[in-house]
Amino acid sequence: MNRKIFVLLASVFAAAAASATLAACGGNDEPPPEEKKYPVTVQADEGCTAQADKKQAEFGESVTVTVTVTDPDMYIEGVYFNDTEVSGDGSYTYTVTGDTTVKVELAAYEEVYSDGGVTFSSSNRTSVPVNGGNGGAWQGNEWVDEIWSWNVGLSWLYTAALSDRSSVTSSNKSVAPDDAFTIEGGDKGSSACFTSAALLLHTRKLPPGPPGRGPFIQSNNTSSNRGTLYVKLEVTKEGTAADIVKWTESVTFDISDVLGSDLFDADKLYFQLVDKDYSSDMQSKEYQTFYMRDCTVTDGKVTVEAEYVEGHEYAVYVGIEGSGDSLVLGDNINGTGGSYDHEQNVLTFQRDGGSIEIRVYDERVML
């Protein structure tokens, strides 16, 4: 910028010196003609600021308009110079040929949770606290607790790896910068191909203090397949308690198959529920463990009253104290308002006061 100003000033001084010399010699003392300047007018939709680097410009001169979206629910749909759309990423440049009107048009984000074989799980929680985590993850050679992970299902065939063109873009980088997000491969099926991906948010990288309005995140997973998701996040300040709804549910374990087992002492059994969606900002229980010695067996069954957070998924274990082993579970055999999938080890309830019964088999597996 300084160099350009110096050159312009040098040109002005050279022209002035030449005019003075001619005037001293009695030549033409008329001033040189001035270049015509064309006005530059900026019109922008509500929800953004748009600033041109000059209000007037000569023919052939470049004008740059900087656009900043202030409403995280909106995005730039188009920037037009005299009805000609100009591409850019927050900065847009145009060569002036006459009077110039710049129009900035915004559009509202629409949430997209499934597209092109990519699905953002309905159980994913989208309210995230600064420095919070829901399980942690490896970041290079370091285990980081302050990681928020979301499951993204992939229904693509033969996806052995995610493309390096997969990306995440935040609509409000002051609340959640782009470099706080990463995408990693998730579960693999029997064909060794990915059936899911993990979208990770490094919450240490979220700015401290009161947050702004939550951003939309755009996740592009691009290979031979492509899916684009738009998910709205709410970023809350550190220590803010999550807004959750807790229910009380009855979980019955049918242990008739293991009572009197020769392989272990049934009095050493314990029953455990683990909240897969737990995070440190929740006023709820991540682990709930019930010991056989504290339970009552009726007709070969044990019933426990468990806390359940609405919308969450729970893992279920029946273990043997001191062994590091657990017993094989089957799907729920009856109940109301809930279900259990033993292959995925997922327990869910759809209402408060539900009940479910799970069969326990006399077969050990390693925890």
Tokens of 163: 């493309």
What six digits make up the tokens of 29? 């003392």
The tokens of 122 are what?
A: 């309905």
Q: What's the pTM?
A: 0.56
Question: Which H helix or E strand runs over 24?
Answer: helix 2-24
Q: Are residues 127 and 227 in the same domain?
A: yes
Q: How many CA atoms lie within 13 A of 347 on its CB side?
A: 28
N residues, the chain:
367
| Tokens at 75, concatenated | 């995005």
For 85, half-sphere exposure in the C-beta direction (CA atoms, 13 angstrom radius) is 6
Calpha distance 325→318 (Å, rounded): 9
In the chain, the N- to C-terminal Cα span, in Å, equals: 65
> So what's the pLDDT on residue 98?
95
Residue 211 and residue 203 in contact, taking contact as beta carbons nearer than 8 Å: no
Look up tokens 């995230």; give the residue.
128
Domain shared by 17 and 45, yes or no: no
280 with 313, same domain: the answer is yes
Mark whether 340 and 258 lie in a shared domain.
yes
Would residue 8 count as lying in a domain? yes
Q: What is the CATH number of the domain that holds 144?
A: 2.60.40
Total domains, the chain: 4
Is residue 133 a contact partner of residue 242, using CB atoms and an 8 Å limit?
A: no
Q: Of 45, 80, 108, which one is at a domain's C-terminal end?
A: 108
23 is in which domain, residue-wise?
1-33
Q: In 3D, which of 220, 214, 203 has the Cα closest to residue 152?
A: 220
What integer pLDDT is reported at residue 8 of this predicted model? 23
Could you tell me if residue 241 is inside a domain?
A: no
Concatenate the DSSP letters of all residues of 57-118 into one string: EETT-EEEEEEEE--TTEEEEEEEETTEE---SSEEEEE-SSSEEEEEEEEE---BSEETTE
Q: What local confidence, expressed as pLDDT, does residue 122 receive?
A: 74
Judgement on whether residues 304 and 338 belong to the same structural domain of the protein: yes
Same domain, 210 and 259: no
Q: Are residues 186 and 163 in the same domain?
A: yes
Tokens of residue 12, six digits: 């002005």
pLDDT of residue 19: 31
Q: Sheet of 147-154: strands edge to edge? A: 114-115, 118-120, 147-154, 196-202, 181-185
Same domain, 69 and 9: no
- pLDDT tens for the chain, 367 residues long, are 322 222 222 222 222 333 332 233 344 556 555 679 999 999 999 999 999 999 999 999 999 999 998 887 888 999 999 999 999 989 999 999 999 999 999 998 888 888 888 888 877 888 888 888 887 888 888 888 888 888 888 887 766 667 677 788 887 777 888 888 888 876 666 566 777 888 888 988 887 654 444 556 665 544 456 788 888 888 877 777 777 899 999 999 999 988 877 777 788 899 999 998 888 778 899 999 999 999 999 999 999 999 999 888 999 999 999 888 899 999 877 889 999 999 889 999 999 999 999 999 988 887 6
Listed residues 54, 86, 108: the one ending a domain: 108
d(C-alpha 306, C-alpha 269), whole Å: 17
- The CA-based angle 311-146-244, given to 5 degrees, is 25
